[in-house]
Structure 1
């Protein structure tokens, strides 16, 4: 796929709905877990570590099951079971639907509607991470590129949320995003070759903050 098309798919303006969620950052700020720039850096590193240890293995497994074989059933079931926070579970389903609807309009010859139909027929929920990996594999992307794109989008959305929450300013935020690209190689190398059966959760305090998001009196984000 042409490089410019990949840049388009990772553009923050792509309407998948990710802008509506902070994935634990807002509640972490509200409950005093993130108060300084140093704590924000620690938070972002933990967030990326969890994204790498949990999502990257599922992305790799989806790349291996792009033909929608029986092995994909186990991948879909396991990912659904690992989404422990109800709000994140709902958000994942919504974003998967938006992502596929968008890509179907861009690439009708890829028949991406088959992904939704297959999961519905199998009685398995289609979440954003599997939908992301399956769709991009069908479009000819290699697994390392898909994993890198996902980490970029995860970091980008957290930086955007931090800016909108007023934790940091735009210039500081983008400088921070630039700095964190230095850890991408480390995370990608560490989890290279790991399938979904080796996926792990590594940031339990972040999970707790996500769960407590509904207790915030006044919220900017859904989660």
Structure 2
């Protein structure tokens, strides 16, 4: 009886091995697709949203943007309606337009240039730093830029490949972390937000117009978020403003006006924004870093 049982076990084992071998051969003849877009014809790659763009547009992105009001707190404190929440809410769209205009006129050209030519990342960062007249705004830009560079190295770099933008970011990081020597002081880097954002989006294969639009929309969202925390408006009103056609048209118009503007023509179009941001540190009390 034991011999018969052993033969049955051997036969069953042989059948299992044959089944496994057939399965392996089938996988070799018909390899599994690498993604859901390959498995189903209804989801071609071009029909799916950019995974990297969704990550970079997330409000939970650890860049520290929530710590800055981008001049809103100082603007409210220097206006006659500083104690009137209704008047402040009505005036907020005007301030948001000024804030976006300032960003588009002074910073967007550097983003466009860095995305178009990532090899110029170091030169663009140095030029932007030399043209940053407001020290408070400069510190905010550098803080967010360095945070994005850290995020790139720790989370986004692995799947980016060896594109020119990825290589430029690697060289930039090495130079930024290197202790400057007395004879090399002219080549110090700061790590401004806009050029690094452009290089990261370029390295993650995000198109230029998507990169620019998301950059401006993220800035608008940061200002609106600061308005909620400053009790200018409620969360539902804030989401209504972000979803409005008015804001979408504002961003699109600013992109059109500055699309061909070079870094040599970038300039502050709203000087009062620099004054509001610069005077933030003089406020008696404040809840934001800038």
Unaligned segments of structure 2, at least 5 residues: 1-47, 82-86, 161-165, 179-186
How far is the alpha carbon of 1:94 from its aligned partner? 1.8
How far is the alpha carbon of 1:119 from its aligned partner? 4.8
Unaligned segments of structure 1, at least 5 residues: none
Report the number of matched residues.
Answer: 220
Higher relative contact order (CA 8 A, sep 6+): 1
Partner of 1:45: 97
> Could you tell me which of 139, 147, 151 is aligned with 1:102?
151
Partner of 1:115: 172
How far is the alpha carbon of 1:120 from its aligned partner? 5.6
Q: Indicate if the aligned counterparts of 1:119 and 1:126 stay in contact, CA closer than 8 A.
A: yes
Matched, 1:215 2:282: yes
How far is the alpha carbon of 1:182 from its aligned partner? 2.3
> Counterparts of 1:171 and 1:204 in 2: how far apart (Å)?
31
Q: Indicate if the aligned counterparts of 1:156 and 1:177 stay in contact, CA closer than 8 A.
A: yes
How far is the alpha carbon of 1:64 from its aligned partner? 2.5
Q: Deviations over 1:182-201 (max 9, x none)?
A: 22221111111222112121
> Counterparts of 2:132 and 2:75 in 1: how far apart (Å)?
19
> Counterparts of 2:191 and 2:77 in 1: how far apart (Å)?
31
Matched, 1:181 2:248: yes
> Could you tell me which of 182, 192, 199 is aligned with 1:134?
199
Q: Deviations over 1:38-93 (max 9, x none)?
A: 32111111111111112211111101221x25xx4542232102222222222222
> Counterparts of 1:128 and 1:33 in 2: how far apart (Å)?
33
How far is the alpha carbon of 1:116 from its aligned partner? 1.6
Deviates more, 1:119-128 or 1:131-140: 119-128
Partner of 1:153: 218
Change (3 A) 1:130 1:145: same
Q: Indicate if the aligned counterparts of 2:52 and 2:204 stay in contact, CA closer than 8 A.
A: no
Partner of 2:7: none
> Counterparts of 2:53 and 2:80 in 1: how far apart (Å)?
35
Deviates more, 1:17-26 or 1:113-122: 113-122
Change (3 A) 1:16 1:33: farther
Root-mean-square deviation over aligned CA pairs: 2.0
Q: Indicate if the aligned counterparts of 2:202 and 2:208 stay in contact, CA closer than 8 A.
A: yes
Q: Secondary structure at the match of 1:221?
A: coil
Partner of 1:192: 259
> Counterparts of 1:170 and 1:26 in 2: how far apart (Å)?
17
Deviates more, 1:129-138 or 1:104-113: 104-113
Question: Larger C-alpha radius of gyration, 1 or 2?
Answer: 2
